Amino acid sequence: MKRILPPILLASASLAGAPAAPGGWERLAPLPVGNGGFVVGSVAGQIVVAGGTTWQGETKLWLDHIWTYDPSHDAWREAGRLPVAVAYPASGYDGRALWFAGGSGGGGAHRTLWRLESAGPAVRATPVARAAVYAVGGVIGGKLYAVGGTDDQAGIARTTNHLVATNLATGAVERLADHPEQMVSNAGAAVLGQRLFVFGGGYWDAARQGVFNHASAHAFSVASGRWERLPPLPHPGRGFSALALDDRRILVAGGYRNDAVEFVADAYLFDSATGAYVPTTALPYAGMVGLVPDGEWLYCLGGEDRKRHRTAAAYRIRWAELLPRG
């Protein structure tokens, strides 16, 4: 059963005493509650955070809240509720609205495609034939592409490598070429042009009875319908945040490296022309975070910063500062 967050928990999101962030990152008002696995985007000049998960003591809570951040007042407000609690869906932005499919409210994956409108925000829900939790993806040409994930948030051993495209107008779902790895979940994904780039991700190893991480990277071309193998990441990981900063470079940052190192703040620029990973300014904290661009700014929000915990941290930086100089 989903539990309502009491006011005292919301108030506990203060970050007083937090260490200073690396150069360039500006600390903002924290999220109303520590949160990870949410949908995030920029809509009509405001940052929108929808759904996600948090921890209350030893209890994991799955959220249905929608919050918006007003940069002009450095303030968050609750803007509405989703029809159900949703976390870890595949999501993307089409220039007008946030789209997301699947995810979970603590059990099986929702077989639903949602559109978060720019005004309200109102939520439109469309049933779909298939969707997953812990899948990743993006919007290209009127379709939400989603790769990997599982049919139930507790069914990690059933993680797949399936790639599906959901038509945003009709909800029709098409199965496409499988991701080259046998399993992939919680990868980093970014859209650049007509390609979906997928970095790392987790997989279940039955022999070792645990989740381990890929160092591989691949790009799916909508035009050819095929996957291209890219140079591997500097290190394996899952839970990367990835997004295109310009027409050539993709930021790949944060995530969970392994059980010895755990969460990291490392950040790289992947050059799609050369295949090189170039280190850039680290995230303001280590974790599986939400990254969203808005105008000249890149926002780093919340996320899982240690096991069985979510942070309410919020920062921003001018994304041009992450690019090479000269």
For residue range 16-44, list pLDDT tens digits in order. 445 556 679 999 999 999 999 999 999 88
**CA–CA distances in Å: residue 128 to residues 114, 132, 174, 175, 283:** 10, 11, 11, 13, 36
Give residue limits of the domains in the chain: 26-319
Q: Residue 238 has what pLDDT?
A: 98
Structure confidence by residue, pLDDT tens digits, 132-175: 999 999 999 999 999 999 999 999 999 999 999 999 999 999 99
Q: What is the mean pLDDT of residues 240-251?
A: 97
Buried b (16+ CB within 10 A) or exposed e, 211-238: bebbebbbbbebeeeebeebeebebbbb
Q: What is the mean pLDDT of residues 182-202?
A: 98
Q: Is the dihedral of CA 102, 257, 189, 245 positive or negative?
A: positive
Q: What is the mean pLDDT of residues 301-306?
A: 98
Q: Residue 117 has what pLDDT?
A: 85
Q: Residue 2 has what pLDDT?
A: 47
Query: Cα(63)–Cα(80) distance, rounded to whole angstroms?
Result: 12
Phi and psi at 240, nearest 5°, equal -60, 150
The conformational region for residue 287 under phi > 0 = left, psi -120 to 50 = alpha, else beta, is: left
Q: Omega of the bond prior to 121 within 30 degrees of 0, cis?
A: yes
Query: Cα(255)–Cα(243) distance, rounded to whole angstroms?
Result: 14
Task: Find the length of the chain.
Answer: 326
Which residue, among 103, 67, 112, has the nearest Cα to 85 in the 3D structure? 103
Query: Cα(260)–Cα(282) distance, rounded to whole angstroms?
Result: 20
Structure confidence by residue, pLDDT tens digits, 197-236: 999 999 999 999 999 999 999 999 999 999 999 999 999 9
Contact 114, 122 (CB under 8 A): no
Structure confidence by residue, pLDDT tens digits, 148-159: 999 999 999 999
- What lies within 8 Å, CB to CB, of 36 at 6+ separation is 52, 53, 54, 87, 287, 288, 290, 302, 303, 304, 310, 311
Tell me the average pLDDT of the chain: 93
Please state whether beta strands 188-192 and 90-93 pair in parallel, antiparallel, or not at all (unpaired).
unpaired
CATH number of 26-319: 2.120.10.80
